[in-house]
Amino acid sequence: MSVSSHDGSPRIALVTGASRGIGRAAAIALAASGAHVVALARTQGGLEELDDEIRALPNADPGGTTLVPMDLRDFAAIDRLGEALYRRWGRLDALVGNAGVLGLLTPLHHLDPKTWDDVMAVNVTANWRLIRSLDPLLRRSAAGRVAFITSGVASRAELRAYWGPYATSKAALDALARTYAAETLNTSNIRVMLINPGPLRTAMRATAMPGEDPATLRKPEELAPKIVEICSPAWSETGKLYDFGADKVLAFRSPA
Ligand code: NAP
């Protein structure tokens, strides 16, 4: 699927957490579809390897990748990023809010406040700060697309013990994304989706489930084409959840 903008120039796609895992696979797939990728993470080496891989793609933007080595807990840097993107392109066509941290799997009453604050900062507040900084740029796109990567733990009926900060943060992310979808529905061309990847073969999953054989899990590269589709101008759903396990777009239901 091609993701060029209406005037034929490459679509500009920001992917957070692009140094490894799902974000890296999404960045490569977006670049392969012709988008110019703005790749954000803390690990400079991971971003440079991503850039090498993207430059080797046959269909990649000759302008390469824009690398943004930064910590999403630096909220002022998120504001500066919005300014920098505005100066360079005047718009943003896609935001993949993927970066996330697991925190610690431990009972709530044992959890240290710093771990709680870090999980909330990366998984929730940074995504709100991205919306705050980037909304004017997304509105300037002919088809602004936003995808946030959530988790099944946010919405499953029986919450798992010990996943407190992560589950709480992803439930908050769900509400954040749906609020933004409602606020943009009638006033812009922006469409906002949540994506539940289900268990995928990444470093985070290996930390959460050390006894699991990674070979039994699907790879992030299998999900990546769907992220490209959700970031494309042709995508029209908003305020909904794409569940990769079921391969279905699900509406959130009101309680009976
Ligand atoms: P991962 O391999 O641990 O990758 C996480 C990414 O987030 C890395 O690129 C990391 O880059 C970035 N990141 C973390 N903290 C950051 C910070 N403070 N500032 C900037 N970037 C930061 O995890 P993953 O499995 O690919 O997860 C990606 C998303 O999918 C997460 O939101 C996760 O909750 C969600 N998810 C994953 C699964 C799964 O089974 N894998 C299931 C459900 C949901 P640096 O360390 O270089 O900063």
Q: What is the set of active-site residues?
A: 166
CA of 8 to the centre of ligand 1 (A): 32
Ligand 1, residues 14, 20, 226: which to mutate, most atoms within 8 A of Cβ? 20
Percentage of the chain beyond pLDDT 70 is 95
Percentage of the chain beyond pLDDT 90 is 89
Domains and CATH numbers, the chain: 12-250 (3.40.50.720)
Which residue's CA is the nearest one to ligand 1's atom 34? 100
**Residue 112 to residue 90: CA distance in whole angstroms:** 42
Query: pLDDT (tens digit, 9 = 90+) per residue, 172-213?
Result: 999 999 999 999 999 999 999 999 999 999 999 999 999 999
End-to-end alpha-carbon separation of the chain, Å?
39
CA of 6 to the centre of ligand 1 (A): 31
CA of 255 to the centre of ligand 1 (A): 31
Query: b/e per residue, 138-166, with b = 16+ CB within 10 A?
Result: bebbebbbbbbbbbbbbbeeeeeeebbbb
Pocket, ligand 1, Cβ cutoff 6 A: 17-23, 41-43, 46, 71-73, 98-101, 122, 149, 151, 197, 199-200, 202-205
Query: pLDDT (tens digit, 9 = 90+) per residue, 32-71?
Result: 999 999 999 999 999 999 999 999 999 888 888 999 999 9
Query: pLDDT (tens digit, 9 = 90+) per residue, 114-164?
Result: 999 999 999 999 999 999 999 999 999 999 999 999 999 987 767 789 999
